[in-house]
Each structure stands twice: as structure tokens, then as C-alpha cells.
Structure 1
Amino acid sequence: MSNIDVIKRLYQAFSEGDIDSVSALLDPSIEWIESDGIPYGGVFKGYEAVLNGVFAKIGAEWDNFTAHVDEFIDAGDIVVTLGTDSATYKATGKKMIAPTASIWTLKNGKVVKFRQYIDTLAVVNAIE
């Protein structure tokens, strides 16, 4: 499987709520960096930290979360994705549509590092 195939499979697993497949594609010691300025902003080290600090919170606080990718860019051990995240924040009922760019670093078919760039204002506007 190519690195782009790994990332496409990862997005498919996210969309299906298949957390077992997600965990199989992420290195157990992954470094996950969310954009500062959003509730989950910061650096998470290790799969359990990502699961509890990012995935569980998004699932608990947002309805219909979707990460749509418009473009996959192959840069060898790095894959860049460009797209849009959308969801409705449960506490406010406000919808968020935010352009995103993500940088995925892979080694031996697993994601070892993720860095997100998102329109933080779009996220904040939905939660306030």
C-alpha cells in the first residue's frame, strides 16, 4: 500500500467510525499536533493520548463531524491533505465549516506524526 493509500484508508476508517482500523494505521508512539486556538490544540504523544485528548472529545462534543479531503499530495514519506472539516457543535447548535491542511508523516506504513492547520476562527465561532 502506498503512503497515499494508507492516508485514504485512514480517512475512510474515520468516516466509518472504525477506530480499530484507525489505531492499526497509527504508530503507537505517534506525535499528533492540533492547531493552537481550538479546544483540542496542542501536542499529543502516543495513541492513547490522541484517542482520549482528541478523538473522544470530538465525538462527544460535535455532531456529524466530517473531514472531507479535496486533494492528496504525495511527498514521499509525507502526505499532505487539503480539505474541509465540518460539524455542528452540540452545546451551541452552530455549524462549523473550516478549511484544513494536514501533514501526515509515515514510516513503514504507519503514521508517526500528524500536524493540522485549520481555520481556528471557524471552530471558535461555532463553540461560542
Structure 2
Amino acid sequence: MTNREIIQGLYDAFAQGDAPTVLGALHDDVEWNEAPGNPLADRNPYASPAAVGEGVFGRILSNYEGFQAAPHTLVADGDHVVALGTYSGTRTTSGATLDAPFAHAWTLRDGKVSAFQQYTDTAQWRDQMG
């Protein structure tokens, strides 16, 4: 399986709510960073699959209904994959709609994610979660 296919598989698993597959694809010593200015960046860098699961995915899923991270473009070069896409979801407390573009920079080692960097419209995240 190529690195591009691995990352596409992670987005597919996330869309299906398959957290064990997503977290299982992360190295034990992953370095995960949310975009500076994103309220979820308060614990950067997340340094384990458990930290990512609790600190990122857990908080997103408890704050948004129908949350999706939908890539429309994946570009791979060696151990690096960049995904371009859109976040969407509805804030559970306010009903506000999230519609934020993203770029994700993934680094893989031995078929697992060793690093992640998010780039997104942090103003939307801050306005809704901050």
C-alpha cells in the first residue's frame, strides 16, 4: 500500500467513525500539531495516539455533530502526503456551521503516521470553540 493510499484510508476510516483504525495508524511517538490559533492547539504537540484521540478527536466529536474532514486532493512525495480539503459540522451548543478549508501535512515512517501538521481557518474554530 502506498503512503497516499494509507492517508486516504485514514480519511475513509474517520468518515465511518472507525477511531481504532485511525489511531492504530499512528506511531507510538507521533508528533501531532494542530494549527497555531486553533483552540485544539493548546496541547501541541500531541505525542501519542491516546493524546490525539482524547485531545483532538474526542473534543471535536463532543463539540460537533456530523463532523467531517473531507479531502479533495492528496499529493504524495516519498514519506510525505499533503491533503487539501474542507472541514464541516454543526456546533452542538450553538448550531453554528463549520465550513473551513484545510491543508494537512502528513509524514509517514514504516507505513505509520509519525508527524501531522494542520493548517486551517483558525478564526472559525476560535469563534465557535474558543
TM normalised by structure 1 equals 0.94
Separation of aligned partners in 2, 1:46 and 1:125: 28
For 2:93, what is the secondary structure of its paired residue? Answer: coil
Q: Name the residue aligned to 1:17.
A: 17
Cα deviation for residue 110 of structure 1 reads 0.4
Structure 1 residues 95-124: Cα deviation after superposition (integer angstroms, max 9, x where no partner):
010010000000111000000000111222
Q: Name the residue aligned to 2:2.
A: 2
Separation of aligned partners in 1, 2:29 and 2:19: 16
Structure 1 residues 66-115: Cα deviation after superposition (integer angstroms, max 9, x where no partner):
11101000111000000111111111110010010000000111000000
Separation of aligned partners in 2, 1:91 and 1:19: 23
TM normalised by structure 2 equals 0.93
Q: Name the residue aligned to 2:34.
A: 34
Separation of aligned partners in 1, 2:125 and 2:89: 9
Cα deviation for residue 24 of structure 1 reads 2.1
Separation of aligned partners in 1, 2:12 and 2:98: 21
Separation of aligned partners in 2, 1:89 and 1:79: 29
Q: Name the residue aligned to 1:76.
A: 78
Which 5+ residue runs of structure 2 have no aligned equivalent?
A: none
Q: Quick one: percent identity of the two aligned structures?
A: 38
Number of aligned residue pairs = 128
